[in-house]
Amino acid sequence: MRIMLQPFVIGLGRAGADLHLRVLERVRAAASELFAPGPVIASDPDGSKHRPDVIATGSIEAATALLDPQRTVAHLCTPPESRAEVLAELVGHGFRRIVVEKPLATDPAELETIEALRDRHGLDLVVVSHWLDSRLTEHLAELISRGGLRSIAFDQDKPRFARSTTTGGHPTAFDVELPHSLGVVLRLAGAAQLTAAECGDMRCEDAVLPGLGSARLTLTHPGGVRSEIRSDLTAPIRRRRIVLEFDDEQVVGHYPISAEDDHAHLEVDGLRRVFRDDALTRFVLRAYRHFHAPGAEHGTFELHRDIIRLLTAAKERTFEYAH
């Protein structure tokens, strides 16, 4: 008998309330056969975070009374510095299918703890990597398959003053946007070694936040391909641009800038195409199909293990972290 799955969202901050709940509404409408009827269950210690279409509880324990963990997909949307702790609590209540927001962990020690939980309890972990399901990424991969790639440049900028000065959870600029763009670069160009890294402070009228202003990685890939990933969280505008340099041409892509408009841009040979690219909906739908009829591993855990390895090397080089 094929089971029907119940979503459970842990954390009603921006990721949980503005992204996962919104996407679940679309996915449940598109593939109702995958889902149990009834409202989404959510958990957040802040009782003021309430939505009429969600049954909100104040703790994971309270939510468990409303759920069958064996038929539930838990969406872990709490800040990354508490990933292992919250994951252990979910495991203690019997949850095994879990979608984890990026980054999976912020340092190797936490990753080791999460990996041990995964192996010991047979967890099916899917880490949010929705740009891999982007139509733009698919087009870029097709172009790269023809050969001749020399370099990749990725700029991922946005003003993040308000969130950085009022919330915690992301220790450096390496942990905010780069897990997305780095995942795309690794998928497009293959395994990488770090060759350079930089990180800058965030400075505004009433605060200085060390390491939360900007980040840059330079990588080398098989065949001599080089990539550079840059993120400026003090920029006045939003930008998600990727530039591929081939032997005889340049390709420019722009990922959708926010959830408000899901259109991507692709410029090849001077011709620009604009198309819908709701990558997060595609990603979540693929994840639920995987949970519904699991076969091979989803693959995102291994990718994010590589992402954490490279980001840790960047932090060590930049901040001289000692682990």
Mark out the alpha helices in 93-235 (DSSP H runs): 108-121, 135-144, 161-166, 178-189
Range of the domain at 137: 131-278+310-319
Residue 301 lies in a domain: no
Give per-residue pLDDT as tens, 269-315.
989 999 999 999 999 999 999 999 877 667 899 999 999 999 999 99
Both 173 and 102 in a single domain? no
Examine the domain organization and report whether 79 and 43 are in the same domain.
Answer: yes
- Where b means 16+ CB within 10 Å and e means fewer, 111-121 reads bebbbebbeee
Q: Which residue has the higher pLDDT, 98 or 321?
A: 98
Q: What is the DSSP secondary structure assignment for residue 16, as one 8-state letter?
A: I
Q: 170 falls in which pLDDT band (50, 70, 90)?
A: confident
Please tell me the number of Cα atoms within 13 Å of 187 on its side-chain side.
24
Q: Is the pLDDT of residue 1 over 90?
A: no
Q: What tens digit of pLDDT does each residue of 114-158 get?
A: 999 999 999 999 999 999 999 999 999 999 999 999 999 999 999
* Pair of tokens at residue 109: 């020690």
pLDDT at position 296 is 62
**Do both 178 and 201 map to the same domain?**
yes
Co-location of 172 and 265 in the same domain: yes
Sequence letter at residue 299? G
Residue 270: what residue type? G
The arithmetic mean of pLDDT across residues 234-247, rounded, is: 96
Same domain, 61 and 117: yes
In a domain, 304, yes or no: no
From residue 293, how far is each of 126, 169, 229, 287, 321 by CA, in Å?
A: 14, 34, 36, 10, 42
Q: Which position has the token pair 């006045």?
A: 236
Structure tokens that stand for 129 in this block: 């990597």
**117 plus 214 within the same structural domain:** no
101 in the same domain as 49: yes
pLDDT in tens, 178-218: 999 999 999 999 999 999 999 999 998 888 999 999 999 99
First-residue to last-residue Cα distance in the chain: 47
Residue 143 lies in a domain: yes
Same domain, 103 and 12: yes
Asked if residue 151 and residue 61 are part of one domain, the reply reads: no
Inform me whether the pLDDT recorded for 49 exceeds 80: no
Looking at the structure, tell me whether residues 162 and 139 fall in a common domain.
yes
Q: Residue 20 is part of a domain; what is its CATH number?
A: 3.40.50.720
**Could you tell me if residue 303 is inside a domain?**
no
Whether 188 is covered by a domain: the verdict is yes
Does 95 score more than 60 pLDDT? yes
Asked if residue 43 and residue 23 are part of one domain, the reply reads yes
Token duo for residue 204: 């505004």
CATH code for the domain of 176? 3.30.360.10
Gap between the Cα atoms of 267 and 244, Å rounded? 10
pTM of the model: 0.92
In the chain, the number of structural domains is 2
pLDDT, one tens digit per residue, over 62-93 is 999 999 999 999 999 998 888 999 999 999 99
In the predicted model, is pLDDT for residue 323 greater than 50?
A: no
Q: What is the pLDDT of residue 53?
A: 78
Distance CA 180, CA 150 (A): 21
- Asked whether residue 26 is assigned to any structural domain, the reply reads yes
Residue 182, in any domain of the structure: yes
305 is a domain residue: no
Identify the sign of the CA torsion 244, 249, 250, 251: negative
Residue 98's closest CA among 290, 309, 319? 290
Indicate whether 175 and 271 sit together in one domain.
Answer: yes
Residue type, 109: A
Mean pLDDT of the chain: 92
pLDDT tens string 2-12: 689 999 999 99
Predicted confidence at residue 3, as pLDDT, reads 84
Residues facing residue 7 across a β-bridge: 73
pLDDT recorded at residue 165:
80
Token digits of residue 250? 């340049």
Q: What is the pLDDT of residue 260?
A: 81
pLDDT of residue 67: 97
